[in-house]
C-alpha cells in the first residue's frame, strides 16, 4: 500500500534525521516501497510529497538466507519508477516495507544487499505492516487489523507507544489469518 498523497515521508522519523552531507548533493526525491509475496510497489515523490512516478514488479519477502531475492525485486521496482519519472538515481532516501522484515536477521541482510546497489543515500527497511500503518495514520493514533495469509494487530496510542498483537506466524499462533481459517476448516 504505497500512496504518495498520504505520506509525509517520515516513516518512523528516519528521514527527519536529515540527509548526510553527500546526500545534500543528490536528488531531492525520496522513494517508498511496499513488498509482499505477490508484488512489490515503488513510488517516488518529490520534497513536497507529490508523486512523480510509480512501478510494480514481482513479490519481495525479506529472507536472511537469500536477501538478494528481495533486493532484486525492490531494485527492479525502484529503477522502473525512476525511469518512468525521469529521476536520476540515487534518490535522497528510500524506505522499504517488506513482508518478513520483522525478523532482524532478514531485515539487516536485505538492508545490506540494498546498500550495495546505489538506489539511495539513506536506506531503511521495515515491515509491510509498518508501511501500511504509516500510510493509514501518518504520525497519529490508530489501530490496524490485518487478516491476510497471516494476521496482526498494530496500534499507536496517544503517547506514541506502539502495541502489537499477533503477526508471529503459523508456528506460534496466527489466529484469524487465512492460514488459520483453512486449517480450522480442515479439522
At 23 the pLDDT is 38
Which CATH architecture group holds 4-139?
Answer: 2-Layer Sandwich (3.30)
Cis amide prior to 59 (ω within 30 degrees): no
Under DSSP, the state recorded for 103 is S
79: how many CB neighbours lie within 10 A of its CB? 17
At 101 the pLDDT is 93
pLDDT per residue as tens digits for the range 79-118: 999 999 999 999 999 999 998 898 899 999 999 999 999 9
| CB contact at 8 A, 120 and 31 | yes
**Helical H segments across the chain, by residue range:** 67-85, 104-115, 128-137, 178-186
pLDDT per residue as tens digits for the range 1-36: 444 443 444 433 433 333 333 333 457 999 999 998
Q: For the chain, give every domain's residue range.
A: 4-139, 141-187
Flag whether pLDDT at 150 surpasses 90. Answer: no
Amino acid at each position: 500500500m504505497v500512496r504518495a498523497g498520504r505520506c509525509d515521508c517520515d516513516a518512523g522519523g528516519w528521514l527527519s534525521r536529515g540527509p548526510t552531507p553527500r546526500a545534500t548533493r543528490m536528488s531531492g526525491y525520496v522513494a517508498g516501497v511496499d513488498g509482499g509475496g505477490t508484488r512489490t510497489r515503488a513510488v517516488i515523490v518529490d520534497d513536497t510529497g507529490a508523486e512523480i512516478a510509480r512501478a510494480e514488479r514481482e513479490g519481495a519477502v525479506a529472507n536472511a538466507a537469500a536477501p538478494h531475492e528481495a533486493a532484486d525485486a525492490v531494485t527492479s521496482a525502484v529503477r522502473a519508477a525512476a525511469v518512468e519519472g525521469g529521476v536520476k538515481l540515487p534518490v535522497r532516501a528510500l524506505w522499504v516495507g517488506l513482508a518478513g522484515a520483522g525478523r532482524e536477521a532478514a531485515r539487516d541482510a536485505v538492508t545490506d544487499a540494498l546498500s550495495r546497489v546505489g538506489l539511495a543515500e539513506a536506506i531503511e527497511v521495515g515491515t509491510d505492516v509498518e508501511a501500511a500503518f504509516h500510510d493509514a495514520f501518518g504520525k497519529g493514533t490508530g489501530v490496524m487489523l490485518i487478516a491476510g495469509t497471516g494476521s496482526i494487530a498494530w496500534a499507536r496510542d496517544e503517547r506514541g507507544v506502539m502495541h502489537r498483537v499477533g503477526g508471529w506466524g503459523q508456528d506460534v499462533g496466527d489466529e484469524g489469518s487465512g492460514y488459520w481459517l483453512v486449517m480450522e476448516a480442515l479439522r
